[in-house]
Structure 1
Amino acid sequence: MPELALEFSVDDLARTRFAFSPLWETVVSVRVLKTPGEHALHFPWLRETRDRLAATGLDVSPLADLIPGPHSGFPDFLTPPPDTAVPDFDAELALMATASPEQIRKDLDFFEYPPTATFAHRLHADPDRLSELVTVLRAYWELAIEPYWPRLRDLLEAEVHFRAKRLTQGGHQLLFEDLHPHVRWAGGILRVDRRCCVLTRKLTGDGLLMVPSVFTWPDALTMVEGNWQPTLFYPPRGIATLWDHREGKCPPEALAGVLGRSRATLLLALGDPLSTTDLARRTGLTAGGVSQHLGALSAAGLVTGHRLGRQVKYTRTRVGELLVSAPR
């Protein structure tokens, strides 16, 4: 399979960083609307979003015209890489709105848009029409992504925390070890399978920006052209349960008999770093009850909490892991 090979220097290793992007999620989610069969995992989101689009009559064709298909990229000017770890949608959209006419035309020229992609051709002829796209993007964000953003953000924050921990524990080898089936690391070179062509590129000391992304699933995508920091987009861990509204798994009877059913359920749910709100949503317990039980589990040395941004994320300690995984 064709691949992209990125060669890292010592500076690039040191400058690898993490972020996530609400603007990227907004843009790439259009692929789900256009080719739902390629993104079955997101069917619950798709059903609700289609209903909202139908109810409001929002015309997203200017944006959809610029997304060629499930196995193609899209113009880079739509998604400038985030420059902070937790970017704001409005700030990202404002940055996108500053794209120059030269950049817009260059990016559009890379794709062979069919005559039916009306807005793509209009934008190429008149880049000032970018303001129309900004309006559509904002409306689409408010309708399709913003209502779900707290849930998406929690998952993405947990992934950033997990990968940062892997990096400190085992360097880039451990960081990339289980990132994605199409991503491999060996000898200071990161290889990413791609559909179009073979490309080898030496990074120039800026490092790699790693962006976990919900709507990138099931792919791993890259952005390595232009003047931006080279970027890898990949699906986060735990994405399979993102749209699952059911209560948490029932704990084994033996574990529930020792800890109590609620505390055993919480301990079982903490396979990924989760906040009190996350746990309440997943288990059906009240936020106050979750907080009380976490205090008891923490005092017993079974869970630990760490601050991540504005939230405290809880994980199982090694003792908690052993208790959950012990054979019964």
Structure 2
Amino acid sequence: MRIYLLEVEDLASTRCGYSPLHETVRSLRLRGRTRGFPEQRRWAAAWARHYTRLDTELLDALVTPGGHAPAVLTPRPRGCRPGLRDELSLLATAPPDRLPADLRAAYDRDGSPMPPALHRLLRDPYALRGRVVAALGAYWTHCLEPLWWPRARTVLEADLAYRGRRLAELGAEGLFTDLDPGISWADGELRICDGPPGRPVLWERVAGRGLVLMPTLFADRPLAGTSPSGHPTVVYPARGRGAMAESTARTAASPALAGLIGAPRARLLGLLDTPATTTALAQRLGVTPGAVSRHLGALAAAGLLERTRIGRAVLYRRSELGESLASGR
């Protein structure tokens, strides 16, 4: 267990954010795993053909058999929602000895032997760094960015929007207490059960460094630690990650609701179990964003949807009236 001690100023500087690079590297855990993350399996199967054309020798070695990854490849986000290419640019300028050291540490924690190919690459840290940046960039472009990332980003953005509402409505207690069953908050102490019972309790004062809350699609329990940049961080399973299992082909809306507001709008209302952007909804329905945007505007004007702007994106979610209609109450 890890316990973070937070003062008032620490609560004021607590922030939420996700890292596309973290999600990219963690998604490599789907390769060769027979259990875990069932909601992601069909995505991994869909991009398998593209993956075989990439630098698989290196990509397969970046995550250990037990699921450990180098810390430099799973960063804490700078800001709320950095871009993948911005994060790769930072990786390309990281100290050249950092990646080899983090790879060795990951395999040491795992207890597995390092692949011979990786041993050879460690001899030239500069070449290793460049090859990793190129391999992850190609993996992102060909496998994740076209279809997987729009859905994944929708889930992560919905989590951030939900956390913001919890903080506004309930304060720090509302923000922390439903992150995960293994996380509790009381009297200025944030307790994270991130390991087996019996492990020593680690106490740490945040002391003005800024606590980062980081949702991810690739965790089944919370993880706490301090990043190399000095920021105490809690990584937790993203709320609504089960939506990744949804097919783009959805069942039709109820005839009564379709008769009231039209089938396309009824279907959109049904999709918004979790907040989503216009682009994500269009991808799930297989139609143009323009067509979706017109229907969303009509539903919002009728009071069935609420809008929340997150940076340049707009998230739509059902209002109380929309919830009543969607559930048939």
Same fold (TM over 0.5): yes
Q: Counterpart of 2:85?
A: 90
Q: Counterpart of 1:273?
A: 275
Q: Deviations over 1:190-237 (max 9, x none)?
A: 2222236432222121221122222x2333333415333122222322
Give 1:178's aligned amino acid: D
The correspondence of residues 20-35 of structure 1 with structure 2, limited to 5 A, is 20-35=18-33
The verdict on how the C-alpha distance between 1:292 and 1:97 changes in structure 2, with shifts beyond 3 A counting, is closer
Offset at 1:274? 1.9
Offset at 1:92? 0.9
Residue 187 (str. 1) matches residue 190 (str. 2): no
Residue 60 (str. 1) matches residue 56 (str. 2): yes
Residue 211 (str. 1) matches residue 214 (str. 2): yes
Q: Counterpart of 2:224?
A: 222
The verdict on how the C-alpha distance between 1:291 and 1:124 changes in structure 2, with shifts beyond 3 A counting, is closer
Offset at 1:78? 2.0
Give 1:79's aligned amino acid: T
Give 1:9's aligned amino acid: E
SS at match of 1:218: coil
Q: Please, what TM-score do these two structures have when normalized by structure 1?
A: 0.85
Q: Counterpart of 1:200?
A: 203
RMSD, aligned CA: 2.8
Q: Please, what TM-score do these two structures have when normalized by structure 2?
A: 0.84
Q: Counterpart of 2:150?
A: 150
Give 2:137's aligned amino acid: R
Task: Tell whether the 8 Å contact from 1:76 to 1:223 is kept in structure 2 after alignment.
Answer: no
Specify every segment of 5 or more residues in structure 2 that has no aligned partner in the other structure, as ranges.
none
The verdict on how the C-alpha distance between 1:225 and 1:209 changes in structure 2, with shifts beyond 3 A counting, is closer
Offset at 1:288? 4.4
The verdict on how the C-alpha distance between 1:202 and 1:63 changes in structure 2, with shifts beyond 3 A counting, is farther
Specify every segment of 5 or more residues in structure 1 that has no aligned partner in the other structure, as ranges.
none
Offset at 1:13? 0.7
Task: Tell whether the 8 Å contact from 2:14 to 2:213 is kept in structure 1 after alignment.
Answer: yes
The verdict on how the C-alpha distance between 1:84 and 1:225 changes in structure 2, with shifts beyond 3 A counting, is closer
Offset at 1:170? 0.9
Task: Tell whether the 8 Å contact from 1:66 to 1:74 is kept in structure 2 after alignment.
Answer: yes
SS at match of 1:305: strand
Offset at 1:123? 5.6
Q: Deviations over 1:134-169 (max 9, x none)?
A: 222222222332222222222222221121121111
Offset at 1:33? 1.1
How many pairs are equivalent?
321
Q: Counterpart of 2:237?
A: 235
SS at match of 1:144: helix
Offset at 1:47? 1.0
Output the CA distance in 1 between the equivalents of 2:327 and 2:224.
Answer: 37
